[in-house]
Amino acid sequence: MHERTMGEIVRDQRPLMMGPEATVAEACAAMHKRRVGAVLVVEDHDRLSGIFTGRDAVRCLAEGCDGAHTQLRRAMTRDPITLAPEQDAMDALRLFNDGGFRHLPICEQGRVRGIVSRYDFRAREYLRLDEETKFFEVLR
């Protein structure tokens, strides 16, 4: 079975990106409009500095921040774990499973190429992860 690479999955993607000076409210509105769960926070057009997700929005509001005035630089997750375009679907699924992530930026030398979420993967890729997980549980 051919292992899809991150580069293949994000090939025609136009991820939602905003600068660190954008506000939480602007990011949430853009996420709602695009029907996505994350904003890649970038500087110099495509250099990743962080990620802002729905979880970050909830945390920010729970801490009492004012979404209309709080900039993403204060609410984002800094230096998120990323994958390179040549890494495969199993690398992403392992990170989702082990790290509890829902979104992973795809970067090449710090520059954004796309983003993947749990929904970007096929049933057979999840089946392979299940088989791998069961195998390692037997070894315990």
Instruction: Give residue-wise pLDDT tens across range 79-138.
Output: 999 999 999 988 998 898 889 889 999 999 989 999 999 888 765 665 665 666 655 555
Please tell me the distance from the alpha carbon of residue 26 to that of residue 130, in angstroms, as a whole number: 38
Please tell me the distance from the alpha carbon of residue 80 to that of residue 105, in angstroms, as a whole number: 8
Please tell me the distance from the alpha carbon of residue 30 to that of residue 95, in angstroms, as a whole number: 26
User: Can you give the pLDDT at residue 89?
Assistant: 87
Residue 41, SS3 per DSSP: strand
Q: Are 51 and 103 in contact (CB under 8 A)?
A: yes
| 120: phi then psi, degrees, rounded to nearest 5 | -85, 0
Domain ranges of the chain: 6-139
Residue with tokens 């375009």: 85
pTM of the model: 0.85
Q: Give the pLDDT band of residue 3 (cuts 50, 70, 90).
A: confident
Compute the C-alpha angle 69/48/46, nearest 5°.
100
The domain defined by 6-139 carries CATH number 3.10.580.10: yes
